[in-house]
Amino acid sequence: FATVQCGQCLVETVQFSNPLQVPCEWFVHSHKPVNKLEKHMPKYLRRKLHAELKPKTRIFEIQPMSGVLDPGERSNVQVKFMPKEEVSFK
């Protein structure tokens, strides 16, 4: 992605293609941390861990999130980049 100001967004279109002779199913998997807190942990540690496990604001959105490409078919996927803080993403 090109440089984007914090709070702004940039949308890029990526084209998927299936050159094979069989259908291709694809999907986007987003990693979500398991929110499992130990009951016997001291309360101050549970609070700290709970704050760290809070879902972070998404900086990427992908549309569509899944699909099936038949043999020889192409499909456009939009990727939206929305930085929430002023850092360099690589």
Which residue range forms the structural domain that includes residue 35? Answer: 10-81
pTM for the full model?
0.64
Domain count, the chain: 1
Rounded CA-CA distance 28/58 in Å is 14
Residue 16 placed within a domain? yes
Please tell me the predicted confidence (pLDDT) of residue 2: 77
Residue 44 placed within a domain? yes
Please tell me the predicted confidence (pLDDT) of residue 37: 59
| CA dihedral sign, ordered 45, 53, 10, 87 | positive
Please tell me the predicted confidence (pLDDT) of residue 20: 96
pLDDT in tens, the chain (90 residues): 778 888 888 999 999 999 999 999 999 987 665 556 566 777 788 777 767 766 567 788 999 999 999 999 999 999 999 888 777 766
Strand (E) or helix (H) holding 79: strand 74-81
The residue with tokens 């709970």 is 50
Q: How many CB atoms lie within 10 A of CB 61?
A: 14
Rounded CA-CA distance 20/72 in Å is 7
Residue 67 placed within a domain? yes
Residue 86 placed within a domain? no
